[in-house]
Amino acid sequence: METGLSEDQSLPDLIPWLQIVQAKVLSSQDVELMISTKIPPVSTLQLHLKLDEQMVAKDTVSAINVIVLAHEMSV
């Protein structure tokens, strides 16, 4: 998943789909992603993303969670 340009330099430009554990709506344009880190100790990281005004958080979160669930079911 591409995060795009951000003022937050700690935010990666690209988040591999397989590292996304869950997405959650914070507001109509804000999303929180739970990311699994591969760096020991393995843990989860929370990222807050502001969406482009053309995107709706509810729809984006639904799409992300469907992709995550589909991958879990295929393993």
In this structure, the chain runs to a length of 75
Q: Per residue in 33-68, pLDDT tens? A: 998 877 667 688 888 888 888 889 999 999 999 998
Read off the pTM: 0.72
More confidently predicted of 17 and 29: 29
Could you write out the DSSP letters of every residue in 27-70? SSSEEEEEEE--SSSP-EEEEEEEPPTTS-HHHHHHHHHHHHHH
Which residues neighbour 46 within 8 Å (Cβ) at sequence distance 6 or greater? 32, 33, 34, 35
